Amino acid sequence: MNILKPIKLVVATIPILIFSTMAFSQKLEPKERITEPDHTITSDIMGKEYQLYISFPKNYSTKDSISYPVLYVLDGEFFYPIIRGTRALLDVEKETIGVIIVGISASNFYIGRHYDYTTSFDIAENEKMEKEYGEPKGTYKSGGADKFLECLKTEIIPFVDKNYKTNSDRGIAGSSLGGLFTAYCLVNSDGYFTRFGLGSPSLIW
């Protein structure tokens, strides 16, 4: 009997086990997935830039004459991926009409939305936000909803209409202060928007 054969097998197996253990013990580096904006628009009305995130219905094509309704999503950096994912799920079940989704975001998230989405100037609320986030006095401003609506109607939406196959069926959706601004549009946009999505709107403002 050749007793060396089992010994050789054991010796050959040990490195395999060692390297296998090392391979399984190595942790994978996380991959950060960032949704990049499709366009950046400079608003003369607001004096700052807005990022647009755009998603199209499955059958969207530049080779036909079909036009589509558009849903404008406020705080797009955060809510656009959620709305897009929900639309994709509903598409699987064939429960949605074709719709273009446009997420709208501005830099300085809290500061920007505090001004853009609020309907009146409130110095007490401004100072409260500055204290909460450790910002210098005068950083937070409020009451810019009328100007932001004008920005949407004369700068952002005309850009989308010019470059994509849209129709006049427009929706707007937002949450919290974004919901407040959506309610403002419901009352003040004179039919410019036809659909409204209000999530926990800050109507206390």
Please classify residue 143 by burial: count the beta carbons closer than 10 Å to its beta carbon, then call 0-12 exposed, 13-18 middle and 19+ buried.
Answer: middle
Distance CA 198, CA 74 (A): 11
* Number of domains observed in the structure of the chain: 1
Per-residue pLDDT of the chain (205 residues; tens, 9 = 90+): 555 555 545 555 555 555 555 555 688 888 776 677 889 999 999 999 999 999 999 889 999 999 999 999 999 999 999 999 988 888 887 777 789 999 999 988 899 999 999 999 999 999 999 999 999 999 999 999 999 999 999 999 999 999 999 999 999 999 999 999 999 999 999 999 999 999 999 998 8
For the record, the structure tokens of 140 come out as 């937070």
* 72 within domain boundaries: yes
* 75 within domain boundaries: yes
Pairing relationship of beta strands 68-74 and 48-55 according to DSSP bridges: unpaired
Q: Residues 169, 65: contact at Cβ < 8 Å?
A: no
* 120 within domain boundaries: yes
pTM higher than 0.85 for the full model?
no
* 8 within domain boundaries: no
pLDDT of residue 58: 86
pLDDT of residue 16: 57
* 99 within domain boundaries: yes
- Three-state SS for the chain is CCCHHHHHHHHHHHHHHHHHHHHHHCCCCCCCCCCCCCEEEEECCCCEEEEEEEECCCCCCCCCCCCEEEEEEECHHHHHHHHHHHHHHHHHCCCCCCCEEEEEEECCHHHHHHHHCCCCCCHHHHHHHHHHHCCCCCCCCCCCHHHHHHHHHHHHHHHHHHHCCEEEEEEEEEECHHHHHHHHHHHHCCCCCCEEEEECCCCCC
Identify the CATH number of the domain in which residue 84 sits. 3.40.50.1820
The 10 Å Cβ neighbour count of residue 129 is 18
Q: Residues 119, 205: contact at Cβ < 8 Å?
A: yes
* 51 within domain boundaries: yes
* 139 within domain boundaries: yes
Domain holding 150, by residue range, is 27-201
DSSP string, 50-66: EEEEEE--TT--TTS--
Strand partners, 41: 50
* 45 within domain boundaries: yes
Residue type, 160: V
**Block residue for tokens 């446009």:** 102
